[in-house]
Amino acid sequence: MIVADGLVKVYNGVRALDGVSFRVEAGELFGLLGRNGAGKTTAIEILCGLRKPDVGTARVGGLDVVRDPRAVRAICGVVHQVPSLDRWLTVYENLDFYCRIYGIPRSERQVRIREALALADLTGAAGRMVTALSGGMRRRLEIARALLHRPRVLFLDEPTIGLDPAARREIWAFIADLRRREGVTVLFSTHYLGEAEFCDRVLILERGRVLASGSPAELKAAAGVRTQVPPAPVTLEEAYLHLTQRAVH
Amino acid sequence: MAVMPLWEATWAIWQRDVRSYWRRRVRIVAALARALLWLVVLGSGLRPLMAGTGMDYVHYILPGVLALTAAYSSLQAAVATMAERESGFLRVVVSAPVPRMVIVGGRALGGATEATLQGALVLLVAPVLGLRPGRAGVLGALGLLFLTGFALTVLGMVLAASLKRLEDFGVIANFVILPMYFLSGALYPIPPLPVWFKALVALNPLSYAVDALRGVLVGAYHFPLGLSLTVLALVSALMALWAVPLYSRE
Ligand SMILES: Nc1ncnc2c1ncn2[C@@H]1O[C@H](COP(=O)(O)OP(=O)(O)OP(=O)(O)O)[C@@H](O)[C@H]1O
Ligand SMILES: [Mg+2]
Q: Is A17 in the pocket of ligand 1 (CB under 6 A)?
A: no
Query: By alpha-carbon position, which residue is closest to atom 3 of ligand 1?
Result: A11
Average pLDDT score over residue span B106-131 = 92
Q: pLDDT confidence of B1, banded at 50, 70, 90?
A: very low
Q: In what order do the strands lie in the sheet with A2-11?
A: A14-24, A2-11, A55-60, A63-64
Q: Looking at beta carbons, which residues of chain B come within 8 Å of A70? A: 1, 97-99
A73 CB near a chain B CB, below 8 Å? yes
Q: What is the pLDDT of residues B58-95, one digit of tens each?
A: 888 999 999 999 999 898 888 887 778 766 778 889 89
Give pTM, 2 decimals.
Answer: 0.88
The pLDDT tens digits for A128-182 are 999 999 988 999 899 999 999 999 999 999 998 877 888 788 888 888 888 888 8
Q: At B4, is the pLDDT very low, low, confident or very high (cuts 50, 70, 90)?
A: low
Residue B208 burial class via C-beta count within 10 angstroms: exposed 0-12, middle 13-18, buried 19 and up: buried
Q: Which one of B13, B23, B86 has the shortest CB-CB distance to A82? A: B86
pLDDT at B2: 47
Q: How far is the C-alpha of B64 from the C-alpha of B42, rounded, in Å? A: 12
Residue spans of chain A under pLDDT 70: 224-233, 246-249
Q: Is B95's Cβ below 8 Å from some Cβ in A?
A: yes
Instruction: Report the sign of the C-alpha dihedral through residues B192, B194, B199, B201, in that order.
Output: negative
Residue B8 at interface with chain A, using a CB cutoff of 8 Å: yes
Distance, CA of A124 to CA of A142 (rounded, Å): 16
Mean pLDDT score across all residues of chain B: 88
Return the axis-axis angle of helices A106-119 and A135-146, rounded to nearest 10°.
140
B168 in reach of chain A (CB within 8 A): no
Cα A192 to averaged position of ligand 2 atoms, centre (Å): 13
Cis peptide preceding A231, ω within 30 of 0? yes
d(CA A176, CA A170): 10
Q: How many residues does chain B have?
A: 250
- Paired with A201 in beta bridges are A30
The mean per-residue pLDDT over the stretch B12-29 comes to: 92
Cα–ligand 2 centroid distance for A78 (angstroms): 13
**Residues of chain A contacting residue B250, judged by C-beta atoms under 8 Å apart:** 51-52
Q: Which burial class, exposed, middle or buried, applies to B173 when counting CB atoms under 10 A from its CB (0-12, 13-18, 19+)? A: buried
At position B16, the amino acid (one-letter code) is R
pLDDT of residue B234: 96
- Tell me what pLDDT residue B116 has: 96
Instruction: Report which of residues B160 and B214 the model is more confident about.
Output: B214
CB contact under 8 A, A102 and B96: yes
CA A240 from centroid of its chain's CA atoms: 19
- Cα distance from A72 to chain B (closest Cα, Å)? 8
Alpha helices in chain B (DSSP H): 3-23, 25-37, 45-46, 57-86, 89-95, 101-125, 135-161, 169-182, 195-203, 205-218, 225-246
For residue B201, the enclosing domain spans: 3-248
Residue A6 burial (CB < 10 Å; 0-12/13-18/19+)? middle
Nearest to B206, CA basis, from B230, B238, B228, B239: B228
Q: Which helix (H) or strand (E) holds B42?
A: none
Could you give the number of structural domains in chain B?
A: 1
Say what the pLDDT of residue A75 is: 94
Does the CA dihedral B215-B34-B205-B21 come out positive or negative?
Answer: negative
User: How far apart are alpha carbons A215 and A25 in whole angstroms?
Assistant: 13
Predicted confidence band at B230 (pLDDT cuts at 50, 70, 90)?
very high
Q: How far is CA A108 from the centre of its chain?
A: 26
Rounded to the nearest 5°, which phi and psi values hold at A152? -85, -25
The complex scores an ipTM of: 0.86
The size of chain A, in residues, is: 249
